[in-house]
């Protein structure tokens, strides 16, 4: 499997090391570039009152905007750290993040970049849990424009 462009959606700051290490291993073997990606789930920052500009958020929901800014800062530091780790291993990488629905954002990045392979984790939800909570990995598996490697 020759994969020159590997998309690595990282879902959680706390639980991404295994996925990153597997992607790094494959990228080293195949002389690939990694794109490290995170999607801040917009449902966490959704309000029942609609969509607001940044200044409106500051006025109406100051704590919400503050929390979002803190999360963005953490994500930037986290992705930068992983990118630096890849560089130290001789692997070229880039990173990006966005806010939205993680499932559709991953597919959009995979198409626009365009990725040859997606390496991502899965929580292992099945049955009713998967139906109620949704499954990003299941959605990506069925909609991806390239090969996928799921890491349990």
How many domains does the chain fold into?
A: 1
In a domain, 57, yes or no: no
Do the Cβ atoms of 119 and 27 come closer than 8 Å?
no
Region 6-22: mean pLDDT is 91
Largest CA distance in the chain: 52
Segment among 41-50, 79-88, 122-131 with least mean pLDDT: 122-131
The H or E element that residue 58 is part of is helix 54-60
- Interhelix angle 102-112/136-143, rounded to 10 degrees, is 30
In this structure, what token pair is assigned to residue 4? 């020159």
Considering the domain boundaries, does residue 55 fall inside one?
no
Which of these, 8, 21, 37, 17, lies nearest to 117 by C-alpha position?
Answer: 8
Task: Please compute the mean of the pLDDT values over residues 105-126 and round it to a whole number.
Answer: 89
Q: Supply the CATH number for residue 91's domain.
A: 3.40.50.620
Instruction: State both tokens at 90.
Output: 């001789």
Count CB atoms within 10 A of the CB of residue 61.
16
> Does residue 50 lie within any of the structural domains?
no
Band of residue 129 on the pLDDT scale cut at 50, 70, 90: very low
pLDDT for 26 beyond 60:
yes
Please check whether residue 142 lies inside any domain of the structure.
yes
Dihedral sign computed on CA atoms, order 60, 64, 70, 76? negative
Total-model pTM: 0.83
Domain residues for the domain of 86 are 5-45+73-151
pLDDT digits 0-9 by tens, 69-87: 888 999 999 999 999 999 9
């Amino acid at each position: 499997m020759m994969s020159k462009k590997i998309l690595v959606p990282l879902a959680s700051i706390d639980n991404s090391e295994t996925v990153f290490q597997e992607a790094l291993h494959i990228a080293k073997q195949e002389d690939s570039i990694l794109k490290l990606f995170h999607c801040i789930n917009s449902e966490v920052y959704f309000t029942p009152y609609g969509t607001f500009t940044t200044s409106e958020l500051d006025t109406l929901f100051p704590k919400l905007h503050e929390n979002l800014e803190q999360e963005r800062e953490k994500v930037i530091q986290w992705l930068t750290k992983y990118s630096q780790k890849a560089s130290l291993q001789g692997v070229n990488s880039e990173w990006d993040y966005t806010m939205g629905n993680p499932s559709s954002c991953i597919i959009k990045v995979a198409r626009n970049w365009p990725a040859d392979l997606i390496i991502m984790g899965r929580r292992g939800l099945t049955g009713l849990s998967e139906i109620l909570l949704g499954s990003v990995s299941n959605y990506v598996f069925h909609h991806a424009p390239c090969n996928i490697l799921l890491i349990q």
